Amino acid sequence: MSRYVRASVLVALLSSTAAQSVRAHEVAPNGKGIPARHEVCPPVLLGERAERIADRVAGKLERERANWNSATGLTYVRSQLATGLRSEPLSGGSAVSAADLKDLSRGAVAFCLPRLGAVIATLVQGSDTERLAVEQQQRREEEEAQRQVDAAAAHRRIETERLRQIALMKQREAESERDRAEVTRAERETAAKASNVAARAERERFAEAQHQRAAGSQAKREQVATGDRADAGAAPSGPEDPYEAVRRRNREAREAEARERARLDALGSSGADVMRRSREIQAEQQRAYEAAQVEAAKPENIMLTAYRHYLVAKQCSESRTGYAAVYLTPQQMGEAKAQVKGIEAGILKRAPSLNTDERWAAANRAETAANADISELGFTGRGAVKERTYTEQGRQFCSAATGWLKGAYGLFYPDSLTVKKDF
């Protein structure tokens, strides 16, 4: 219980005691019970004059209750009583001074002047209520200030997180840009290498053709020279025979023709020679392709190729595990596994005696050799897959493997290529 509440209770008790003392004085004038007012109160507070002054002060305090508390109200009562009583001297001619009432307590006021004591008691209660209201207002202001501080801190945390996310996004964009630049550079380098290899192969083919033509020309020149030496050994002495003149002119024509052919060979092949050689190369390629098709259609080679494409798909699936950009998703890898199993079952129906374990081992050896082949790594997407970097060439390399498995599976199970009606 606070000091103000205790004071309020005490004043109320004193006020109640004062009222009881008045009633007791009226019923017990002989001194039995509660003492009478004139036995306790100072003489200056007895009589109508003190009552009038007390009523006037009580009225003022009631009207201006909000401007007073218990302490200031009691001080005001003391000064007003001293002023009022000083203007009306006591019997005997003496006057009341402020010093006579400086020790006047709330309890004495409540006992001697009950109405004024009751007003002071309400001032005590009002002061305590105002204090509680002020404390509550202060608590509300402190809570509001704390809420504002918490809100500002939360806003700073959110803003900091937003800035961090923006910085992280920019970093990822920069990394993606660097990856794209690296992919572009790698593709350009690969294209340049492929172009250089093709140009070198073309130069080698052209040089070989030139060498063959030069060898043929040299053989013809040696043959002509041998015929000339034979003709010279058989020529008789004396005037030139008419037939010998004809042979000599023919020999000179052949030599001129040989020299012209040699000159043309030195300048390069004619358009007709190039077209003829091109047709020969195309025919050779067609024959080789047809032979390769026949060889590839054999069950053991289909099984080997299927196993190799599945191993490529598996390598593509594992290459980018944990990255956002992947060559094959888990679903695509599951489809590849189901397709190679279906191809294996279909081949075993046609060739039950086929040793699939031997074909699997051969496929693993072939893939191991391919992953160690520099030219294979440089000119296909296999190098990107092996290095775990994502490139367009690598994606095409992986897509070719899964595409072959899907196509071969469709040859054994044609219904798999048809979309079933689902409506």
- Taking the C-alpha atoms of residue 380 and residue 393, their distance in angstroms, rounded to an integer, is 7
**Predicted pLDDT at 256:** 74
User: How confident is the model over 186-244, as pLDDT tens digits?
Assistant: 888 877 777 777 666 666 666 666 555 555 555 555 554 554 444 444 444 344 444 45
CA distances from 25 to 32, 43, 177 (A): 9, 17, 106
Q: How many other C-beta atoms lie within 10 A of the C-beta of residue 187? A: 14
Residues 92/146, Cβ–Cβ less than 8 Å: no
- Taking the C-alpha atoms of residue 59 and residue 61, their distance in angstroms, rounded to an integer, is 5
Q: Do residue 230 and residue 360 come from a single domain? A: no
335 within domain boundaries: yes
Residues 197/374, Cβ–Cβ less than 8 Å: no
What is the pTM for the complete model shown? Answer: 0.37
Q: Do residue 280 and residue 306 come from a single domain? A: no
**DSSP code of 323?**
S
User: How confident is the model over 375-417, as pLDDT tens digits?
Assistant: 888 888 899 999 999 999 999 999 999 999 999 999 999 888 7
Task: Give residue 259's identity as a one-letter amino acid code.
Answer: R
Q: How many domains does the chain have?
A: 3
**Predicted pLDDT at 385:** 94
User: How confident is the model over 52-80, as pLDDT tens digits?
Assistant: 888 888 888 888 877 777 778 788 888 88
Q: Do residue 325 and residue 221 come from a single domain? A: no
**DSSP code of 98?**
G
- Taking the C-alpha atoms of residue 199 and residue 210, their distance in angstroms, rounded to an integer, is 16
Q: Do residue 59 and residue 87 come from a single domain? A: yes
User: How confident is the model over 160-178, as pLDDT tens digits?
Assistant: 999 999 998 898 888 888 8
Residues 344/303, Cβ–Cβ less than 8 Å: yes
Q: Which residue has the higher pLDDT, 14 or 415?
A: 415
46 within domain boundaries: yes
Task: Provide the domain limits for residue 203.
Answer: 185-234+243-286
